[in-house]
């Protein structure tokens, strides 16, 4: 596989050297990549769903969207363990649907992760400002922290994937532990002592339409778990590591989401919670326990850093893969000769994340990221149906076969449609603007870029001819 997926590390010499990405990762790294990207969603962002539908609305939406992501994880585990190559869903689209879809899927990945990275950096900056304010430095400028976070993580990614994801494992585990400590710190066995669910929870403020609307930001509890498949080319055993890492990651997130909602809804009025930038840190503050406050400060920072770290890893892999296949300028398809990382893709995406972190409010940045993710999930449901049709079970070697097909694909599609409607409620202009971007980018690809792409070379899997073609 590595020979088939090597990349040109072309440089100024003009004589390309074939260098492959390193196969060094195990299930723990896959878990760290998936959960590391997503866990920040428990520390910030999910709570905007409370603003759209109230606390109960957010909880119902969290469960429904949890089902959406379970379908995503099931589908992803099968397709990725079979199409084990950098680029994840992008490479899947290339082999199963076709070049234009692949180009779009590559862009979904890059935009979803780059926006999420911008959101993560914003949270680091805002939290530093909030803490500085408590120590009498309310005029602290958070922007240097934003730039510094992105720059350090980009450097880490530049230097090597093994160290990057090992660091992610440690800080993600610490952030998850912070949520568990907070849960026990608020004494959930003594309702009314710290947690005030009875006094703070109210009925659905917008009725059931608010519950549907809340699905948009409920995605934030899990958005990015599908990023595990970006590591497909760098894991030692894709058939074992990807399903194991993804499914255990999904279980971790479902636990963390439930704990997060329970603690936050029992401490904050829903109107405040619906717009808070760092809700779990605020929850710790409300307990009046200084130790918890420090733990949640560290947890929030760690989760944001782990997420931004994973996002840089994933966005650069997708950008790199598109460069390697000539969907984007081939200059991006280079692997660092020493560190074996897609270094040009990593460097190119830094300023984009920084500009978004400075120019757009957090909920808009999150909306861009969510919509790109949502388009990707819509693709995944249609892609799964085509995959089983073009290569029925038994026709090719699969690392993992997910059960109950086509039910997960159908459920996923229905829930995606509901989430588009949820986004339309309140963020309709953003939805249309994002669609406009993908339509214009598609036109650019069809009428200009595709002429630079080699046709037969795009199909690199050792599979038989697809049925129906």
Partner 1 sequence: MAQHYEPPKQAGVGQFIDSIVLMVLVFICLLAPVYLKADHSAAPPPEVQAEAAKAAATWQSLGQTPAQAQQWEKLGYTPETAQPIVENRFDYTVDPTALIVTIAVIVGYFVFVFRISDREYREVVRERFGNGGN
Q: Which of 52, 129, 317, 402 binds partner 1 (CB under 8 A)?
A: 52
Q: Which of 151, 199, 392, 401 binds partner 1 (CB under 8 A)?
A: 199
Q: Among residue numbers 5 through 24, which ones bind partner 1 (CB under 8 A)?
A: none
Under the binding rule (CB under 8 A), the answer on residue 188 touching partner 1 is no
Least gap, CB of 426 to partner 1 (angstroms) = 5
Least gap, CB of 108 to partner 1 (angstroms) = 11
Under the binding rule (CB under 8 A), the answer on residue 58 touching partner 1 is no
Under the binding rule (CB under 8 A), the answer on residue 100 touching partner 1 is yes
Question: Which CB sits closer to partner 1, 52 or 340?
Answer: 52
Q: Among residue numbers 394 through 413, which ones bind partner 1 (CB under 8 A)?
A: none
Under the binding rule (CB under 8 A), the answer on residue 111 touching partner 1 is yes
Under the binding rule (CB under 8 A), the answer on residue 208 touching partner 1 is no
Under the binding rule (CB under 8 A), the answer on residue 87 touching partner 1 is no
Under the binding rule (CB under 8 A), the answer on residue 438 touching partner 1 is yes
460 by Cβ neighbours in 10 Å (0-12 / 13-18 / 19+) ranks as middle
Q: Which of 82, 378, 381, 419 binds partner 1 (CB under 8 A)?
A: 378
Under the binding rule (CB under 8 A), the answer on residue 294 touching partner 1 is no
Q: Which of 20, 97, 182, 315 binds partner 1 (CB under 8 A)?
A: 97
Question: Which CB sits closer to partner 1, 218 or 250?
Answer: 218
Q: Which of 268, 315, 357, 412 binds partner 1 (CB under 8 A)?
A: 268
Q: Which of 113, 343, 368, 400 binds partner 1 (CB under 8 A)?
A: 368
Question: Which CB sits closer to partner 1, 79 or 244?
Answer: 79
Q: How far is Cα 109 from Cα 88, in angstroms, rounded to an integer?
A: 9
Lay out the site mask for partner 1 across 121-150 (x = CB under 8 A, - = otherwise). ------------------------------
Distance of CA 203 to the CA centre of its chain: 31
Least gap, CB of 285 to partner 1 (angstroms) = 7
Question: Which CB sits closer to partner 1, 32 or 365?
Answer: 365
Q: Which of 6, 166, 258, 458 binds partner 1 (CB under 8 A)?
A: 458
Question: Which CB sits closer to partner 1, 141 or 271?
Answer: 271
Least gap, CB of 301 to partner 1 (angstroms) = 20
Under the binding rule (CB under 8 A), the answer on residue 200 touching partner 1 is yes
Under the binding rule (CB under 8 A), the answer on residue 393 touching partner 1 is no
Q: Among residue numbers 306 through 365, which ones bind partner 1 (CB under 8 A)?
A: 326, 328-332, 348, 352, 355-356, 359-364
């Amino acid at each position: 596989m590595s020979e088939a997926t090597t990349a040109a590390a072309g440089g100024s010499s003009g004589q390309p050297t074939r260098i492959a990405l390193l196969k060094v990762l195990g299930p723990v790294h896959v878990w760290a990549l998936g959960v590391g990207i997503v866990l920040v969603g428990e520390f910030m962002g999910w709570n905007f769903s409370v603003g759209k539908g109230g606390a109960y609305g957010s909880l119902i939406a969290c469960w429904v969207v949890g089902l959406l992501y379970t379908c995503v994880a099931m589908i992803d585990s099968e397709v990725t363990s079979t199409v084990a190559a950098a680029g994840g869903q992008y490479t899947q689209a290339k082999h199963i649907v076709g070049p234009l879809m692949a180009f779009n899927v590559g862009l979904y990945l890059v935009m979803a992760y780059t926006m999420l990275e911008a959101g993560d950096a914003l949270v680091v900056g805002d939290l530093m400002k909030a803490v500085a304010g408590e120590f009498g430095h309310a005029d602290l400028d958070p922007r240097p922290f934003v730039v510094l976070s992105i720059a350090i993580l980009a450097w880490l990614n530049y230097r090597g994937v093994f160290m990057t994801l090992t660091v992610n494992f440690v800080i993600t585990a610490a952030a998850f532990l912070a949520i568990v400590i907070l849960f026990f710190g608020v004494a959930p066995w003594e309702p009314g002592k710290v947690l005030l669910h009875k006094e703070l929870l109210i009925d659905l403020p917008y009725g059931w339409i608010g519950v549907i609307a809340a699905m948009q930001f409920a995605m934030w509890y899990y958005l990015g778990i599908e990023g595990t498949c970006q590591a497909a080319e760098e894991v030692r055993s894709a058939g074992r590591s990807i399903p194991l890492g993804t499914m255990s990651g999904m279980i971790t997130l479902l636990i963390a989401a439930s704990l997060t909602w329970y603690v936050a809804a029992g401490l904050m009025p829903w109107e405040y919670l619906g717009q808070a930038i760092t809700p779990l840190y605020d929850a710790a503050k409300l307990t009046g326990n200084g130790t918890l406050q420090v733990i949640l400060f560290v947890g929030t920072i760690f989760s944001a850093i782990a997420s931004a770290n994973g996002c840089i890893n994933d966005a650069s892999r997708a950008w790199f893969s598109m460069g390697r296949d000539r969907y984007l300028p081939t200059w991006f398809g280079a692997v660092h000769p020493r560190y074996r990382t897609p270094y040009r893709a990593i460097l190119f995406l830094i300023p984009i994340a920084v500009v978004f972190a400075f120019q757009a409010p957090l909920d808009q940045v999150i909306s861009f990221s969510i919509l790109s993710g949502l388009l990707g999930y819509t693709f995944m449901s249609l892609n799964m149906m085509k995959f089983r049709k073009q290569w029925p079970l038994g026709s090719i070697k699969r690392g993992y076969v997910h059960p109950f097909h086509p039910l997960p694909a159908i459920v996923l599609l229905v829930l995606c449609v509901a989430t588009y409607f949820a986004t339309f409620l309140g963020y309709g202009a953003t939805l249309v603007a994002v669609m406009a971007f993908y339509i214009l980018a598609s036109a650019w690809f069809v009428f200009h870029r595709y002429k630079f792409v080699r046709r037969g070379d795009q199909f690199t899997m050792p599979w038989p001819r697809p049925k129906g073609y």
